Chain A
Amino acid sequence: MNLAYSVEYEAFRAEVRDFLERYRGDWPRGYAGGRPNAEMLRWQRLLLEYGYAARTIPQEYGGYGAEPDALKSRIIAEEFTRAGAPGGLAGQGISMLVPTLLEVGSEEQKRRYIPPTLRGEMIWCQGYSEPGAGSDLANLQTRGVEQGGDFVINGQKIWTSTAQLADMMFCLVRTESERARHQGISYILIPMSTPGIEVRPLKTMTGASEFNEVFFTDVRVPVENVVGGRGAGWSVANATLKHERGMLGDPNAAETRLKAIIDLMQEETVDGARLMDNPVFRDQLMRLQGRVLAMKFHGLRLLTAAANGEETGLARLIVKLEGCELNHQLAAFAIDVLGELGVLYGDSPHLRAKGAWQRMYMFDLGLIIGGGTAQIQKNIIAERGLGLPREPKVAVG
């Protein structure tokens, strides 16, 4: 047990700090999500050049080509957070597609798609879920039929985040209709500009349109756009889901929220008394602080295991469930301490934190559902983590 970083790592930390200071003027202050604008694209290129984005991706694909080092990645994240500097682009292309292509993509696919994705010039969306295939993803019905070197795709995807601004979709399509359900699926890369694709935004409870419906009518995509081989889409998709779950359970988000709530409770008053002086609120704050600390230290444990190349099994499997739930509870608590002010939204007078707590409270519910619902996470923890038997299959038909 030793929480200090060695000299080599402290030197690395100093480099990161130095970089952030030197390029302070280049921080993309005007970028608020969505398609990266010019200043964000410039920032992303700078981060790629210095290895603060796509650090371990080989140079021939536009990455920095460093050896994987969990501690260095952690130091980069810590220093960016500490300085309040915007990190590199994330999103489904960088976080999910790129690791998948590196694992199972062809050489041609890696060279063609990874570099522009890393630069933020090629935006991706994930076309998995369908109206009849959510948790039961293998039930998907969008079909591709081969015709003269192309797949002709018909069907519908739903809940597709960022489809309205994406250039490309990585999509699961049933191409081998004669095979059993898990073996009949292919993982296909589809340009969103292909004729026959229609994107309809779905307004969500936050008031924004975070996701979409996507309709395919005779959409033609070359057969070589399949990743990992025809009919291998299920295992390719599972590789991607693994990356997604890693992305959704960030334990440090909770600490940032807790700090904001502490400030809030020290500044806001009701009947002239600070919220912090209300013993009920204070007790709830302390409960949440205990949870936040536990998850933070749990993160340290996982970090050490990753740095040592050890399997973490159960410890890793709980992060999505516990992390998303904790973030959601923090937002809920912030709303409660704000009382009636907690319901203000939009541009209302008396609004606090630009309505962020309500937005987070709603958005986080989406994260609890998306990427494998809480119930599906519990199935995974019980079956893979504790070795309990799988649900017996109900005979169909």
Chain B
Amino acid sequence: MEFALSADQRMLQESVDRTLARACPLQRIRKLPADKSVAKDVWAALAELGIAGILIPEAHGGSGLTLLDAALVSEMLGRHVAPAPFAATAVVAPLALLHAGSPAQQTEWLPKLASGKTLAGIAISERIAGARDGAGVTASNGKLDGKALFVIAAGAPLCVVADRDGGLHLVHTASPGVTHIPLETIDVTRPPGELQFDNVEAEPLNSGDARAAFAKIRDAGWTMLAADTLGASQRMIEKAVEYAKERQQFGRVIGSFQAVKHLCAEMAAELEPCRALVWYAAHAFDAIPAEAALTAAHAKAHTSEIGRFVARTATEVHGGIGFTDLLGLHYWFKRIGLNRQLLGGPDRVRHLAAQMQGFAA
């Protein structure tokens, strides 16, 4: 019985941490709004560590690690508010190919994804979060029509698309009939997009059990977003505590005022159990299939709630400077805000958790 990270896992996390500290300091993040595409430099630095192929089997050029390893990377991405298409390109898309792709599709695409040279987006939101503004994709005779909103890494050349009836497809976004409309959100570090499809040629991903494959990619997506929020929230608490130890008012550091001290204690006390929840959900994905879906749902929903509490409280501890662009704390605040809504807000995900247990129709 060992519920802890291995030495290798800690090393992986530290090396991603160091790489991101170097590759995307806040000055780099600040340049993002001008440059709407993926931050190629940051992705290249991660790809050099083998992060792009983290889940892809060695036979296809990846390192064949577990979802827990991927969650540790995701946590570091949140910590550094890193502009990287990790969840889509390195986690959900490869898993879609592994669980629903044919051997030929795997052989063709997995090595390209593993190298980090080809990026892939995911258009699966409507199946989880529900369809708004008339979104939804229909497939007939191998052609896709309709539109998908909140496509993660929508600018990528490749995209895994979920249709209304539970099917998965691989689309080349340069194909005729595809229109990409970037969606501006609060978070500039991972702009999602809208993809419109007009009679678009697509490769079906239909080997194996489609429902099970979809559950897999949904659970993995939830777990990555939860881990990202965990890392971002942890960093916000550290920043609040550091600031509370330095900032003086009324002749004392503000961290000696109990009102401030207790805000910090509450943030830490609420976030700490989220770490174990994220670890468990990721580990269940790898090793305890019967618990995977429920724990992934709770990791997503609960960490989103705690993330929101930490984001607003850590900002409050900073006073006025927390509200400014000067300090840049808002990048973390917004990252947590986007993670919360993507692939279903907490209420939606809790409803799905109730359904999984037969508590709701």
Contact = CB atoms under 8 A, between A and B. Distances in A.
B3 A382 contact: no
B8 to A, nearest CB: 11
A260 to B, nearest CB: 15
Interface string B10-26: 00000000000000000
Interface in B170-228: none
Nearest to A262: B359
Interface range on chain B: under 10, 10 to 19, 20 to 34, or 35 or more?
35 or more
Contacts of B288: 3
Interface stretch (A43-51, A233-241, A383-391): A383-391
Interface stretch (A136-144, A297-305, A356-364): A297-305
A210 interface: no
Given A289-B298, A386-B265, A387-B241, A1 B273 contact: no
A321 B256 CA distance: 20
B360 A391 contact: no
Contact of A386 (B264, B287, B298, B301): B264
B298 A388 contact: no
Nearest to A320: B269
Interface stretch (B53-61, B88-96, B349-357): B349-357
B302 A291 contact: yes
Interface string A315-326: 100100110000
A169 interface: no
Contact of B354 (A282, A305, A322): A282
Interface in A269-318: 276, 279, 282-283, 285-287, 289-291, 293-295, 297-298, 300-301, 303-305, 307-308, 314-315, 318
B305 interface: yes
A17 interface: no
A297 B68 CA distance: 15
Contact of A286 (B244, B275, B283, B354): B354
Contact of A385 (B253, B265, B347): B265
Interface string A234-269: 000000000000000000000000000010010000
Interface stretch (A81-89, A102-110, A176-184, A373-381): A373-381
Contact of B268 (A287, A295, A385): A385
Interface string B246-266: 000000110110100110111
Contact of B262 (A291, A295, A304, A378): A378
Contacts, number: 159
Nearest to B298: A290
Nearest to A2: B2
Nearest to A321: B269
Nearest to A289: B298
B273 A287 contact: no
Contacts of B6: 1
B295 to A, nearest CB: 6
Contacts of B150: none
A389 B255 contact: yes
A392 interface: yes
Interface residues of A, number: 52
A388 B301 contact: no
Contacts of A385: 265, 268
Nearest to B271: A318
A1 B68 contact: yes
Contacts of B68: 1
Contacts of A396: none
B327 interface: no
Overall SS of chain A's interface: helix
A217 B277 CA distance: 54
A297 B350 contact: no
Nearest to B291: A293
B86 interface: no
Contacts of B3: 1, 3, 297, 300-301, 303-304
Contacts of A295: 273
A9 interface: yes
Q: Which of B245, B252, B269 has the most CB of A within 10 A?
A: B269
A282 B355 CA distance: 10
A4 interface: yes
B244 A318 contact: no
A263 to B, nearest CB: 12
B133 to A, nearest CB: 24
Interface string A1-25: 1111110010000000000000000
A3 B6 CA distance: 13
A71 interface: yes
B356 to A, nearest CB: 10
A14 B283 CA distance: 26
Contacts of A308: 4
Interface in B267-306: 268-270, 272-277, 279-280, 283, 287-288, 295, 298, 301-302, 305
Contacts of B104: none
B1 interface: yes
Q: Which of A314, A381, A388 has the most CB of B within 10 A?
A: A388
Nearest to B360: A282
B265 A382 contact: yes
Interface string B337-361: 0000000000100110110000110
A387 B4 contact: no
Contact of B258 (A71, A290, A298, A379): A379
A296 B266 CA distance: 19
Contact of A298 (B256, B273, B354): B273
A301 B4 contact: yes
Interface string A91-132: 000000000000000000000000000000000000000000
Contacts of B274: 294
Contacts of A322: 269-270, 272-273
4 A-B pairs with the lowest CB-CB distances in the bound complex, closest first:
A290-B302, A297-B276, A286-B350, A294-B273
Given A282-B354, A283-B351, A301-B4, 16 more contacts: A1-B287, A287-B301, A291-B273, A293-B302, A297-B273, A300-B3, A301-B279, A304-B4, A318-B269, A381-B268, A382-B255, A382-B261, A382-B265, A385-B268, A389-B256, A391-B256
8 contacts: A1-B287, A285-B354, A289-B298, A290-B305, A291-B302, A315-B272, A318-B272, A382-B255
Interface of A: 1-6, 9, 71, 262, 265, 276, 279, 282-283, 285-287, 289-291, 293-295, 297-298, 300-301, 303-305, 307-308, 314-315, 318, 321-322, 375, 377-379, 381-383, 385-392
